[in-house]
Amino acid sequence: MQVPEDEVITFNLSSDDGSKLWLNNKLIIDNDGLHGMTEKSGTVALAAGYHQLRLAYFQKSGGNDLKLSWNKGKNAKEPIPDGVLFYGPPK
């Protein structure tokens, strides 16, 4: 993902069942286990530039849902825009 300027960002991860979020190979959110829809958050200060984002998720039974959003600074929670996400190394 690309961060346009130095920012403090809170990532919000909701899932039914388990999920985990890593940023630059550091676990930011651990929402693992068998459970109904549950949201957990993690806050990190990021320098402007590219950062590796990795999300893992599994589903066993019951509902199946996964949502990832962020809050930048004191702004409201919102979906992460497609324009900052990349697959593989940036070009």
DSSP 62-88: S--EEEEEEEETTSPPEEPPGGG--SS
In order of start, what are the domains of the chain with their CATH numbers? 2-81 (2.60.120.260)
pLDDT (tens digit per residue) in 9-67: 999 999 988 899 999 999 999 998 777 788 999 999 999 999 999 999 888 877 788 89
**The model's pTM:** 0.86
**Token couple for 25:** 């190979």
pLDDT of residue 89: 62
Residue 85: C-alpha distances to residues 19, 52, 60, 89 (Å): 19, 10, 28, 11
- How many whole angstroms separate alpha carbon 22 and alpha carbon 60? 22
